[in-house]
Structure 1
């Protein structure tokens, strides 16, 4: 179960993509204007990587700010216990309610082979989070996290770490997305033994390495996963819109470094364009 929680925590920090146009290839953006006396910074992370080393430009932005704000407060000591309460389906639903008997047998074999756990032990876990357990295997290397790297710097600088939303709010997204659609995505992963997922993950990481936030969005629009296409409003848009006022509030109080999944940066309803719409100047840091 600890492995499950670690996978979920990493995956939650960067899920979902959406379409955009005309934004530079950059992961680091400066936020100014609209009454701000000092600049804040917005940085796009990726939830799992082989190398989470921070560039000199990112380090300088961290040095120039006084607060780190991630999607969720990963310093919260209650995060793990809260997560445990939110990963389970409501109303007594189980995986068996979402798939046929034949599909259940295939899933049981797949889960056992991939993570060494019987599916019965995960019977009432939301299907999305069962899928998330496989993702560290897609890298082919020990998993590193940009969020952890950012937090390390914040701790060294004795700065506070906060979140734009609560872990409860993130987990609630997967009650809004039908469990049946989540199960469909899980079955797709099982049917080709993660072949599609591995190919997609490698492509996504390459785009991220090139800081191509628009390419990432386009790729995910064409993805086979229902959670990131059919339900992109729940995965991204609605959350982005809620974050804008909170970003402004933090930035007004002190220069702040915001670290969110790179998926949230671009798009009509991406954080960059929403901040500009709210009156802020947001420009790439090259």
Structure 2
């Protein structure tokens, strides 16, 4: 009798361990998502601006995009009125300074990865949507403007060094390490607001999308890794997540 009880206990223990087994989300920028209704979608981590001499959008990513019916970016950037509202907004000084220095350094070499994806989507007659509205992101940016960043955040050499490190981490698909770096560069409060909180806000929209159609989700790679990353949040909700090599 004791032997039978021990075997039953071991079975329950093993089942419990398997139930809480987590996927390693430290590396990988392209992932397959299986919805609860059995529909296959993909989530891809982007780097918003990159020098054309450093890398290119892979054929593997393009092929997975073409398998889908909708491209979901962080926000829909095809609406001209919304784009003008975004352009007229006074962004936090840290972001303006950082992008200004990067643009000054790389100039015409810089490519928008989101624009590339949009072009491929239009060519394949794939619909476009956004995970948040312009007003939602601007409301967050208004709050970010009042938050103090680390004292060395505005140093030109540091901004360029951090950007180059980001490029290298993108090439090696080190999403976990990239996420861990962000609080050191921007501070924990800003990271929480522009990454963690937005991830939480997006999850319900992502669930709604992937249960209805084949979706290609493309968001900054900083949104993928970490305990509060989209990949971990989706897995915790019971979705099948698998890295696409």
SS state at 2:80 partner = coil
Output aligned runs, 1:128-143, within 5 Å. 128-131=94-97, 132-139=99-106, 142-143=109-110
Match of 1:197 among 159, 162, 169: 159
CA distance in 2, matches of 1:150, 1:174: 25
CA distance in 2, matches of 1:130, 1:279: 39
Shift of 1:140: 6.2
Aligned residue-pair number: 220
Match of 1:76 among 56, 79, 84: 79
Structure whose residues are more often strand by fraction: 2
TM-score (norm 2): 0.82
Output aligned runs, 1:1-286, within 5 Å. 22-35=24-37, 37-51=38-52, 53-87=56-90, 126-131=92-97, 132-139=99-106, 142-179=109-146, 181=148, 188-189=153-154, 192=155, 194-223=156-185, 225-226=186-187, 229-286=188-245
Compare CA radii of gyration and give the structure with the larger one: 2
Which consecutive segments of 4 or more residues in structure 1 shift more than 3 A? 138-141
CA distance in 2, matches of 1:159, 1:22: 31
CA distance in 2, matches of 1:284, 1:258: 14
SS state at 1:279 partner = coil
CA distance in 1, matches of 2:94, 2:160: 17
Instruction: Work out whether residues 53 and 149 of structure 1, in 8 Å CA contact, stay in contact via their aligned partners in 2.
Output: no
SS state at 1:253 partner = coil
Shift of 1:261: 0.2
Deviations 1:26-53 (A, max 9, x none): 1100000422x32000000001101363
Shift of 1:259: 0.3
Instruction: Work out whether residues 30 and 243 of structure 2, in 8 Å CA contact, stay in contact via their aligned partners in 1.
Output: yes
CA distance in 2, matches of 1:255, 1:72: 18
Aligned in 2, Cα 1:56/1:174: closer, same or farther, shift over 3 Å? same
Q: Structure 1: 5+ residue runs without aligned partners?
A: 1-20, 88-124
Instruction: Work out whether residues 36 and 239 of structure 2, in 8 Å CA contact, stay in contact via their aligned partners in 1.
Output: yes
SS state at 1:233 partner = helix
TM-score (norm 1): 0.71
Instruction: Work out whether residues 128 and 174 of structure 1, in 8 Å CA contact, stay in contact via their aligned partners in 2.
Output: no
CA distance in 2, matches of 1:81, 1:140: 23
C-alpha RMSD of the superposition: 2.1
Deviations 1:235-268 (A, max 9, x none): 1111101111111111122100000000000111
